[in-house]
């Protein structure tokens, strides 16, 4: 594992308790081959997960005053998912600092799960060592600016989440989606998807993937419920 001085510099922080940050970078697998008294990072990961969610929730609450709870929940889920946090771990090059078993070490740089969990553990350590403002500082640099790109790239989450929220509120059921037809060659297929509320078909949508067709159907459904 590399010296943590560079990591602290990258984060713009000065660690009061370097041992805490060393523990944040110890994967469970490392203990199968080494004796490490401080233990692995899973407790810090547990704490960091809550801290990341709190900071992200507060940010979204203030940034989008007009969005409903369901929309905010879907957006938060997209921001704190494994892929997003794994990208941050790769950006910070955490694989250079991680303590892993030999087997895990061979592919750690490409393992989103390990990197994502390590980011959470690191945030947990920052929270304990330097407080909530320091954790906010790091996430404000590496996570929170991603929100606009996430919205742009995950519009389907927004539409489907909004429609589900509306239907559950008004009908007390969860909408379902069924592929009605698909046409065209494999490289250029068109899907037709129906969205149902209970046994009743509400709307249909078309797209070049099942996901995009579901999005179109949900959008059409929202218009019928006068919420688009």
Q: Which has the closest alpha carbon to 217: 205, 199, 201?
A: 205
From the list 45, 104, 120, 129, the catalytic residue is 120
10 Å CB burial of residue 99 (0-12, 13-18, 19+) is buried
Q: Is the dihedral of CA 61, 65, 68, 74 positive or negative?
A: negative
Per-residue exposure over 130-143, b if at least 16 CB sit within 10 Å of its own CB, e if not: beeebbbbbbeebb
From the list 45, 49, 104, 214, the catalytic residue is 49
| 49 counts as catalytic | yes
| 182 counts as catalytic | no
Query: Active-site residues: which are they?
Result: 49, 120
């Amino acid at each position: 594992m590399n010296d943590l001085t560079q990591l602290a510099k990258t984060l713009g922080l000065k660690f009061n308790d370097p041992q805490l940050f060393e523990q944040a970078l110890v994967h469970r697998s490392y203990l199968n081959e080494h004796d490490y008294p401080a233990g692995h990072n899973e407790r810090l990961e547990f704490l960091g997960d809550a801290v990341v969610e709190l900071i992200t929730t507060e940010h979204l609450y203030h940034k989008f005053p007009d969005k409903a709870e369901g929309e905010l929940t879907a957006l938060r889920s997209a921001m704190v998912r494994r892929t997003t946090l794994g990208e941050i771990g790769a950006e910070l090059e955490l694989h250079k600092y991680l303590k892993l078993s030999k087997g895990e070490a061979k592919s750690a740089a490409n393992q989103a799960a390990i990197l994502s969990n390590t980011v959470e553990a690191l945030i947990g350590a920052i929270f304990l060592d330097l407080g909530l403002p320091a954790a906010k500082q790091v996430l404000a640099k590496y996570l929170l600016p991603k929100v606009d790109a996430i919205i742009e790239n995950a519009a389907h989450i927004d539409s489907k989440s909004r429609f589900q929220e509306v239907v559950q509120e008004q009908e007390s059921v969860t909408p379902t989606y069924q592929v009605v037809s698909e046409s065209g060659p494999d490289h250029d297929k068109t899907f037709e998807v129906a969205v149902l509320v209970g046994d009743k078909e509400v709307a249909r949508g078309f797209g070049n993937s099942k996901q995009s067709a579901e999005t179109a159907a949900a959008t059409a459904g929202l218009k019928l419920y006068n919420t688009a």
